[in-house]
Structure 1
Amino acid sequence: MAAANTSCSEENFSCSICLDVFNSPVTTACGHNFCRTCITKFWDEQVKYKCPVCNKLFDTRPDLQVNTLLTEMVDRFGTSVRVKEQPCVEPAEVLCDFCTGTQLKAVKSCLVCLISYCPTHLEPHQRVAGLKKHRLVEPMDRLEDRMCKKHNQLLELFCRTEQVSVCQFCTETDHKSHPVVPLKEEYEVKTAQLGKIEAKVPRMIQERKLKIQEIKEADRQIADVAQVLNVLISYVEKWWDDFNEIRENRISTEKQTEDLIKELEREIEDLTNRSSVVKQLSHTKDHLHFLQAFRSLKDPPPTRDWTSVEVRPPSSIGTFWRSLDQLKETLNMDTAYVTMDPDTAHPKLIPSEDGKRVHHRRGMKP
């Protein structure tokens, strides 16, 4: 009998919204009692003001009256009337909006109340006739964001024309002529597209890495060409300095050279004239004239014995040409090497200490 009285007492001193012992109990005009915080929060989230128990509608938001008698009885009853606490839930779960202190795992969400409930706080929706009419769905977080702002209905569909989520009423008004599918169906389509994007991105990354390598390779080849040209320029400058030295030394013997050339040209002219006379005489048939003329041709004009005269270029000129031939050969080998292996193109050309030869850097073979 005592157990029955205790059960009756627990029901009488519990708020039908939070199912916990009344905290600052107030009474509505229809005679039902609630915690002030619970009924205030409930009405804050509703378009129309109604009683959560009997579903009575009020034209305006009622003024809540403190239930003094119930407050005194709750204080006297103390903490003996408490709903037993349930285990704490995992952080990733949807939590009950009505639990005080430790929030428990929600098992259903109400699309009318826009509140998620744990098993204990869901009980009025399973017992009270008015609350049974509410639409319950699987627990959802951020319920306000899942509701259509225009029709206050759950966003369950997806408009493919405008690429937005819509409710059932939207398909009968603004989106009447648009192709609409369930959210799950569009989710699967977009998930498949995301898979293609996910597979494409690594390829795009690899393409860009290859492009970076290509750019760096082009820069490297330009740098190699510049280095080769610098070597060639220094090589030519060295040759030019050597040649200027040869030319300056040559100036001292320039007068002697000019005299020799003039003497040679004079002898060439005399010999040319003599050749013309000989040619004419060879065609004459006059015996007397031939013999008289031949006598004048018997003795040649006075000339120098040029076999004793030696004119040789400086020995450095020969070295110059040999060095140039060697450079040509090296460059030809370098070109063939680049053609066979572009990845290691343009080996470095290094001049010798005397600046008269070119060779490849050690370790690099054509």
Structure 2
Amino acid sequence: MADASTSWSWEEFNCPICLDLLKNPVAIPCGHSYCMSCITDCWDQDDQKGVYSCPQCRQTFTPRPVLGKNTMLAKVVEKLKKTKLQAARPAQCYAGSGNVECDICTGDKNKAIKSCLVCLESYCQNHLERHEEFHSGKRHKMTDATGQLRDMICPLHDKLLEIFCRTDQQCICYLCMLDEHKNHETVSATAERTEKQRQLGEMQRKYQEIIQKREKELEELKEAVESHKRSAQAAVEDSERIFTELIRSIERRRSEVTQLIRDQEKAEVSRAEGQLEQLEQEIEDLRRRDWSSGREEYGVQRLLYSKQLTFIIESVFLLKHNQCAASIWTMQRQLIYVCVCVCVCVCIYIYTVYNHPNIKI
């Protein structure tokens, strides 16, 4: 039987309220077992309602059940406790950095596993058993080992801070509640801790929602930035392509216009050179005529006062000079007209390409 008992899990004999091995175990009508002190404290809080329930299955009882010690279960727990102590002793170690030291150990102190809120001391496994034996039948509230026991005690009354004053937002003892915090809104520290945990959980949930929202906005913003970069790059590439084509087209048109002007220049210069030769020839012919000489057959005076019909034929040579001058001015006007037309065409082309890039010219 002893071998079988050692195969049981210790957690099966833990009190659901204090989560420690059962002490003075009692079974309530629904079948669940608790420490007598734990279930008594729990039901004391339900006295005003007059309805008592199981903390596990929530089955209600009316009137309050009478509690009796489960002797058989107590023996099993006692044996299990000894087995646990024997198994724990080889592994028991001294308190290291970050561990709570046993307040009873002398010399090298062992690591504490529990702290008493009444005695304000922390105990290793050995001294915890002695504490329970010494205070057998007394309800000392135990908690996991902590090095901040003094922070849990009222500095004025040296009592446990087990009440929370919502008016002043601080933990107090029951004597404080009867004195300076009288008529204040107070609740048990356990209830306030539960409420604060609920509020913190709600706040954490809201923070998570905000974080998710901000992460979504961040991703959308990143995508918008990338989209803007892609659009800007596409616009740059399009503008580069358009301006490259525009420059090439302008260069091509420039070459064509230059060639057109050169061709026009060549034609007009060729024509002008012919007229120059003609003028030079006429000048030479006129110079051969000695206008101021006294030779009557060539003199101008003879032509002016001549009444013969040959006057008309001979005067033709004098009028050709004015015709040549008129031809030269006509050539100059044609050159100016061509240049103006070319400039206008270039301006129209540039305006069309810049404002209507999709139009093929």
Determine if the TM-score, normalized by the shorter chain, exceeds 0.5. Answer: no
TM-score, normalised relative to structure 1: 0.39
Question: Which is bigger in relative contact order (C-alpha 8 A, separation at least 6)?
Answer: 1
The structure with the largest helix share of the pair is 2
